[in-house]
């Protein structure tokens, strides 16, 4: 074949483009990036985590971030790609990024629900769920953000396999959820923060969503979220609301942030990126750059806080 064209960070890339990018960015930056396959999707696509960080002789604490849990939220994988590019291109010049990658590792899963993401490019732009099949039901997929083992299927989730918020046949029935949960469990002693990127609504959410009770760390989580939201707003004036999921968006059990928090990952946040509904999931490509730039400031605010705590 011919020489590969440069990756575009201001377009919504297909899975095939993202896969080529995962390979090229890791081979171009061997001292800062390694690839870890954490398992395969239902349709047998490899789930590759990019581990960003300077090699160290001692065990480093880490941040885990995933994008694209929901297939149609295309700005989310765009942000993970942007984050990786920014991290690598500002390491050595930006003092915060340099210190972050010297002292911590950042695990980035660019597309969590790959099968669903592919389906939104080929068949149905508004698909949300995984693409798993089970004999006995003609409906396909479960909502991966209702399939984690956190108050599973008790609230704001459906047991109807045809629903967009189907919780699955049991917790972690979705192989993509099991792969991520296994990875976080295996690395539980080093993972200090869990960040999961969704759209849309301009919210910065934290536990709990599966119940109305406040998290033990509520005050600290709220303070860090508000600091992140004001850093984000400083760039283009985009306003975010921060708070616990149940009262800020809606009660919903089985979410990844609640699960990670109850496992012991204290700094557990769900971002709902732009916009507030004008374009919704169909956010124009012209907004990828400003959305990613402002979101970087929020993620860096959280990372800096986690690093010093
Ligand atoms: N919103 C999230 C959803 O899964 C959420 C909101 C966050 C629910 C955390 C549960 C836990 O419905 C979107 N846009 O997907
Ligand atoms: Zn979502």
CA of 197 to the centre of ligand 2 (A): 8
Residues around ion ligand 2, judged by CB within 5 A, are 70, 73, 198
The two structure tokens encoding residue 279 = 């374009």
Q: How many CB atoms lie within 10 A of CB 187?
A: 14
For the chain, the average pLDDT equals 98
Structure tokens at 265: 């990952």
- Token pair of 77 as six digits: 């994988």
**98-130 per-position pLDDT tens digit:** 999 999 999 999 999 999 999 999 999 999 999
Q: pLDDT band at residue 144, thresholds of 50, 70 and 90?
A: very high
pLDDT tens, residue by residue, 215-233: 999 999 999 999 999 999 9
| Model-level ipTM above the cut of 0.85 | yes
Residue 3 pLDDT exceeds 80:
no
Residue 93, class by beta-carbon neighbours within 10 Å (0-12 exposed, 13-18 middle, 19+ buried)? exposed
pTM: 0.98
Task: Using the mean position of ligand 1's atoms as its centre, give its distance from the Cα of residue 270 in Å.
Answer: 8
At 21, which helix (H) or strand (E)? helix 15-28
Q: Alpha carbon of 90 to those of 100, 200, 297, 309: distances in Å?
A: 11, 28, 13, 23
Mutation pick for ligand 1 pocket among 221, 255, 279 (CB with most ligand atoms within 8 Å): 255
194 neighbors 269 (Cβ within 8 angstroms): yes
pLDDT at residue 47, as a whole number = 99
Q: Whose CA is nearest to atom 9 of ligand 1?
A: 255
Regarding the beta carbon of 128 and ligand 1, being less than 6 Å apart is answered: no
Would you say the CB of residue 151 lies under 6 angstroms from ligand 1? no
Q: Which residues pair with 35 in a beta bridge?
A: 50
Answer whether residue 203 shows pLDDT above 70.
yes
C-alpha closest to that of 78 among 131, 148, 8: 8
- Dihedral-angle region of residue 289 (phi above 0 means left; psi in -120 to 50 means alpha; beta otherwise): alpha
Give the residue numbers annotated as catalytic, written as ranges: 272
Q: If you measure from the C-alpha of residue 4 to the centroid of ligand 1, how many angstroms do you get, rounded to a whole number? A: 36
Helices 175-186, 256-263: crossing angle, 10 deg rounding: 30
CB of 205 shorter than 6 A to ligand 1: yes
| Predicted local distance difference test score (pLDDT) of residue 217 | 98
Residue 254 pLDDT level (bands cut at 50, 70, 90): very high
Q: What pLDDT, on a 0 to 100 scale, did the predictor assign at position 9?
A: 98
* CB of residue 118 inside a 6 A radius of ligand 1: no
Q: Angle at which helices 288-308 and 75-90 pack, to 10 degrees? A: 60
Q: What are phi and psi of 17, to 5 degrees?
A: -65, -40
> How far, in Å, CA of 79 to CA of 293, rounded?
9
Residue range 24-71, pLDDT digits in tens: 999 999 999 999 999 999 999 999 999 999 999 999 999 999 999 999
Determine the Cα–Cα distance for residues 191 and 299; give it in Å rounded to an integer: 16
pLDDT value at 5 more than 80: no
For residue 243, the ligand closest to its alpha carbon is 1
* Percent with pLDDT over 70 in the chain: 99
Which ligand does the CA of 204 lie closest to?
A: 1
Centroid of ligand 2 to alpha carbon of 288 (angstroms) = 17
Does the structure show a pLDDT above 60 at 1? Answer: no
pLDDT at residue 4, as a whole number: 64
pLDDT band at 2 (very low <50, low <70, confident <90, very high): low
The response to whether residue 255 sits with its C-beta less than 6 Å from ligand 1 reads: yes
Q: Is the pLDDT of residue 6 over 80?
A: yes
Rounded to whole angstroms, the Cα distance separating 56 from 270 reads: 29
In the block, residue with structure tokens 């047998």: 44
Closest by Cα among 95, 102, 108, 91 to 54: 102
Candidates 127, 145, 100, 114; CA nearest to 272 is 145
Q: Are 168 and 160 in contact (CB under 8 A)?
A: no
Report the nearest-CA residue for atom 11 of ligand 1. Answer: 255
Write down the pLDDT at residue 192.
Answer: 98
- Asked if 54 and 98 touch (Cβ cutoff 8 Å), the reply is no
Q: Is the peptide bond before 298 cis (omega within 30 degrees of 0)?
A: no
């Amino acid at each position: 074949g011919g020489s590969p064209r440069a990756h575009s960070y201001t377009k919504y890339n297909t899975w095939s483009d993202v896969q080529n990018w995962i390979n090229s960015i890791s081979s171009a930056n061997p001292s800062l990036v390694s690839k870890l396959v954490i398992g395969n999707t239902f349709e047998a696509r490899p789930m590759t985590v990019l581990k960003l960080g300077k090699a160290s002789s001692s065990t480093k604490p880490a941040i885990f971030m995933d994008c694209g849990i929901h297939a149609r939220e295309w700005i989310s994988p765009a942000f993970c790609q942007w984050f990786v590019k920014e991290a690598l291109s500002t390491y050595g010049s930006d003092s915060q990024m340099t210190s972050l990658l010297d002292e911590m590792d950042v695990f980035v899963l660019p597309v969590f629900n790959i099968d669903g993401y592919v389906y939104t490019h080929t068949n149905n732009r508004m698909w949300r769920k995984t693409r798993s099949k089970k004999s006995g039901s003609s409906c396909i997929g479960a909502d991966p953000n209702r399939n984690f083992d956190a108050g599973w299927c008790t609230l704001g989730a459906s047991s109807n396999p045809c629903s967009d918020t189907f919780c699955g046949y049991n917790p972690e029935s979705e192989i993509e959820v099991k792969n991520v949960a296994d990875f976080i469990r295996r690395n539980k002693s080093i993972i200090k923060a869990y960040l999961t990127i969704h759209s849309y609504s301009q919210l910065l959410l934290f536990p709990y969503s599966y119940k109305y009770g406040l998290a033990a760390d509520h005050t600290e989580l709220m303070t860090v979220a508000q600091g992140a939201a004001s850093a984000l707003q400083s760039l283009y004036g985009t306003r975010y609301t921060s708070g616990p999921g149940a009262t800020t968006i809606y009660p919903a059990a089985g979410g990844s942030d609640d699960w990670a928090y109850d496992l012991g990952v204290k700094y557990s946040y769900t971002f709902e990126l732009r916009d507030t509904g004008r374009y919704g999931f169909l956010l124009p490509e012209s907004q990828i750059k400003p959305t990613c730039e402002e979101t970087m400031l929020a993620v860096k605010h959280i990372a800096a806080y986690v690093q010093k705590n």
